Structure 1
Amino acid sequence: EPSQEDLELTRQLLQGAQFLSIPLLDHLILGNGNFTSLRQTTGLWHEFPQGDR
């Protein structure tokens, strides 16, 4: 499960990528032999469109 810090960092990365016109494809959280894709589990990419789809 992503922390609030993970979500805030992802927002900042998405804003920066959008400003630079560089798509951020995903942000993966790794731990305990598992991973979570923030692109698949949050709506952040709808808030900050990346122009990659």
Structure 2
Amino acid sequence: MFTEERHLWACALAVEKQHGAGAPRFVAARIGALALVGDNAGVECWKAIAAKLDALARA
């Protein structure tokens, strides 16, 4: 069973695999779209995924 932390890492890895170098742009677009509709929980989730992507890029 996935913990929340493992789920976020899995999402970040999937986004990186699917979008490659465009992954940060994709995540930023998701955050923007969710912010426009007022989905604060969604925004926070994608911000956490963005942090994981950033960690992957620095590794």
**Structure showing the higher strand proportion among its residues:** 1
Bigger helix fraction: 2
Relative contact order: is structure 1 or structure 2 higher (C-alpha 8 Å, sep ≥ 6)? 2
After TM superposition, the score normalised by the length of structure 2 is: 0.39
